[in-house]
Amino acid sequence: MATSTIDLSIILAAGKGSRMGSTDKHKVCFPVDGVPAVCRALDCYERCGIPRHLVVVGTLAQQVMETVSQRHCNVSYAFQTVANGTAGAVKTALAADPSLPSSTRLLLAAGDRLLAPSIVDSLTDLFDRTRCDITILCTTTRPNTGAGRVVLDDEQNAVAILEMADIRQRRAYALLRELAAAEKLPPTEEIRSLLASTFRSDNEDKLAKAFPELWPALRARKPITASELLALVPEQLGYFSLQTRAGRPLCLTPDEAEALPHSNTSVYVTTRGVLANAMAKLSNHNAQQEEYLSDLVAITAATGGRAKVLLAADPNDVLGFNNPAELLEVENTLRTRQQAARHNLLPDDEFRPLGDWLALFSAQSKQELLQNCLDTVYGTNPETISRQRALYLPLLQFAQQQLGEQADAERLAIVRAPGRLNVMGRHVDHQGGHCNLMTISYETIMAVRPRGDDVVRIFNLDEKNYRPCQFSLGKLIAELPWTDWHSLVASPELKKLIGEYGVDWSHYIQAAFLRLQKQFPQSLLRGVDIFVSGNIPPAAGLSSSSSLVVGAASAAVRINGLDCRPAELVSLCGEGEWYVGTRGGSADHAAVMLGQRDAVVKVRFFDFGVEDIVPFPADLSMLVCDSGLKACKANGAKDQFNHRIACYRLAFRIICRQFPQYRHLLHHLRDVNARTLGVPPAWIYRILLCLPEQATRADIARLLPGTDLSAFWAGHQGLGENTSYPLRGVAMFGLAEAERSRTYADLLRKGDVDEIGRLMRCSHDGDRVVSFDQNGVARPYSSPVDNSSLLRLMDDLSSGEPERVMAAQLRYQPGAYACSLAAIDEMVDIAQSVPGVYGAQLAGAGLGGCMMILARRDAVENVKREMISRYYAPRQLPPAILVCHPIAGAGLFPGPRQNTP
């Protein structure tokens, strides 16, 4: 799922929903286009990355819980014993888990409220960006709507929500006072009728609550004089008297209140602390004599808090229903939206007849049009454009050959997904660290043809090494468990499938389609024919496999018209790759998808977002050199990758247990830093001292008593029961790399390339296993992480000597992740001996693959010469040196517009 800053959703599903006219089916359990309404709501929140949900139940509680549990497993329940409205339901929810910290971020919504994921994201983003206390989702006020009206001050802060019952009550009071003042007060029976029609209710109990001063006299049917009525109904009951956050008075007549342009949807984002404070101050002095949840806005504003509104531009992004007719309207809206999406699935600019694509890439008359398209993607580097352009025509001709007769009339799109470099921030994306990402000018190209069934057929231009494959989504779904994605990727059925045949290139494409199918379960995804080519060196640490996942996912999203934002798709692609057994993060997929031409992109994780885009200097080059050793994501290598991630997770658990005073600040390993904890830098080394340098499983069990550790061992069973866990060295690398990756973009913008080079060297030393001296003699390398080394660093930080203090900074400490190989260490040392090279380091996850070199552009040829003479030639390996320039991230190839002459 995508990652959200919301910690918990509270879903209100305790009411009767009597207007649905059913005594045996709860309102939230009514199917909306085949899916129960509450499950549709939870599906949306899951897609938005909200990790946990609390559903408040009451009437027909068992039915609601059974309905939810069939589809969602990360849900808890709170039972509302007294039906006292939505405010009572929220109080029940807060009481259900009193241990929740005040800072816990909450989404509140009714169980039948159906939102577009983009709306939830926007509401959360507004809360984060403005740092307010509450965000309120609103729609434009429609005639005769019963929704409450939101009052804004001059600074667009919400100061109150006025419920329609109160607006009608005040209108009735104002009307009676006007009649009494004019000596036109009607008889008692007509006053009763007037109140009922103005309040829009004939219910005696509701009228008695709305007009407590008048109703006893009216019920007695005694005549009321004008003076008596004016005494019973003071002037202030005929309007609303409010205050802005600045304390200025704000008065509204009932008509002005009803005409307010923003209507409340009863969807809020706030914190537990703000909500609990408001719930403690609620009163029932209103037209319905009940506590209004919406009063939390006025209570918060009265104490100086800020509430901001998000206006939904499209009212169909916020749906709900109260009766069967409205339910039918909602279903019709959803179906119309789906039909409209499918109608627009294949725009002519993107999906063209194959014959047109062939003409574009081969006909001389179209070369200027083609060049404009290529420039958009690749920039102006002639070498890059020439090399990448050469990929397209052979692939299109291959598709023509496979499709046979009438092939030229088939409509296809071209999807491209480049390889990537993570120029700083290795091994830390899954721990919440930053990554600094650069696409490389080598990529996977796919020609994709939509099908009318659920079959995905895959063909590779390199038929010798990549056999054709096809699969049916419906058949895979039937064969694999489908409770949730975690159960699927951990299932014996998938292990048997992968174990019997091994990881095949087609499994990465299966992964993309299945993860999207799980995320969008309402209908079976449409199949596609995919024709693949590319020039990313495989198993070289340049994300050739991730480019397959991202390319296939991009095709599936576009062909099926899925509402999937880039940040969400990045997370889904990262989780999708778990299908083949690795449990890394989403950095590779983020780089492939979000890369920018001529720039480095800095991204954060948990929550995911692009933080900065920095131009890559024109006088620098990034070289990628393939070691010739394949970084195989199977067998022992996969165990080794997952073993290191387990070390991170275990170290984090131990730190949280050993330092409970910081637990509320620690969500991911990256949070163990001086800024977050508010401690001196030396304290981080003190924290690391609590971790053993090496630990057995028995040692870890003693450090984490009562913890079920089986999940920690699951991803690397091949290493055996007696494997050792270098917790301190791995954690130290992760914390230092998080610091290096945090500062990289600022250094690049300032042009401090020397400092970048130093950080690259430190980073690689954290992966290094061997070092080479000037004579090429290898010696085992181990970065010190023992107690005396940490204590020495602490002394250096407190020494007051500038050189010692600087050298002891966390970012300069390698740690010991140790996922390099001797051959790659040698390549790094060769590169760093060449004048004009700033830094060199491992590229990718390690255990084979490539290394990267940051050098002046005028030093590139010297670097090539040294690498060939000192590494490739002695091993009789063909030189594999890529000079890379950042190109555009993954997407559909931007063909010329159809109306272009």
Distance CA 575, CA 592 (A): 15
For residue 634, what pLDDT is reported? Answer: 45
For residue 370, what pLDDT is reported? Answer: 87
Q: Would you put residue 574 in left (φ > 0), alpha (ψ -120 to 50) or beta? A: alpha
Residue 99 gets which letter from DSSP? T
Compute the mean pLDDT over every residue in the chain, rounded to the nearest whole number. 89
Any alpha helices (H) in 442-543, and if so which ranges? 473-479, 485-489, 492-501, 505-519
For residue 343, what pLDDT is reported? Answer: 52
pLDDT tens sequence across 426-439:
999 889 999 999 99
CB atoms within 10 A of CB 120: 25
User: Is the pLDDT assigned to residue 105 strictly greater than 90?
Assistant: yes
User: Is the pLDDT assigned to residue 718 strictly greater than 50?
Assistant: yes
Amino acid 686 reads R
If DSSP states are collapsed to H, E and C, what string results for 724-792? CECHHHHHHHHHHHHHHHHHHHHHHHHCCHHHHHHHHHHHHHHHCCEEECCCCCEEECCCCCCHHHHHH
Amino acid 177 reads R
> In the chain, what percentage of residues exceed pLDDT 70?
96
User: Is the pLDDT assigned to residue 30 strictly greater than 80?
Assistant: yes
CB atoms within 10 A of CB 346: 16
Q: What is the DSSP string of 219-230?
A: HTT----HHHHH
User: Is the pLDDT assigned to residue 160 strictly greater than 90?
Assistant: yes
The contacts of residue 613 (CB under 8 Å, 6+ apart) are 596, 599, 600, 601, 602
Higher pLDDT, 143 or 699: 699
Closest to 881 in 3D by CA, of 901, 892, 865, 896: 865
Q: Is the bond into 829 cis (omega within 30 degrees of 0)? A: no
If DSSP states are collapsed to H, E and C, what string results for 804-823? HHHHCCHHHCCCCCCCCCHH
User: Is the pLDDT assigned to residue 1 strictly greater than 70?
Assistant: no
Mean pLDDT value across residues 322-342: 73
User: Is the pLDDT assigned to residue 183 strictly greater than 60?
Assistant: yes
Higher pLDDT, 342 or 798: 798
CB atoms within 10 A of CB 568: 23
pLDDT band at 555; cut points 50, 70, 90: very high
Mean pLDDT value across residues 830-855: 92
Which residue, chain included where needed, has tokens 């693959």? 849
pLDDT band at 901; cut points 50, 70, 90: very low
User: Is the pLDDT assigned to residue 276 strictly greater than 90?
Assistant: yes
Mean pLDDT value across residues 15-19: 75
Distance CA 270, CA 635 (A): 46
pLDDT tens sequence across 407-418:
899 999 999 999
Mean pLDDT value across residues 216-239: 86
The contacts of residue 236 (CB under 8 Å, 6+ apart) are none
Closest to 887 in 3D by CA, of 539, 535, 384: 384
Q: Which domains does the chain have, with CATH numbers?
A: 1-115+313-343 (3.90.550.10), 142-308 (no CATH), 352-422+441-594 (3.30.230.10), 635-884 (no CATH)
For residue 900, what pLDDT is reported? Answer: 42
Please give the structure tokens belonging to residue 777. Answer: 């003699």
Please give the structure tokens belonging to residue 825. Answer: 């260490």
Mean pLDDT value across residues 622-630: 90
Lowest mean pLDDT among 8-12, 107-111, 379-383, 887-891: 379-383
pLDDT tens sequence across 750-770:
999 999 999 999 999 999 999
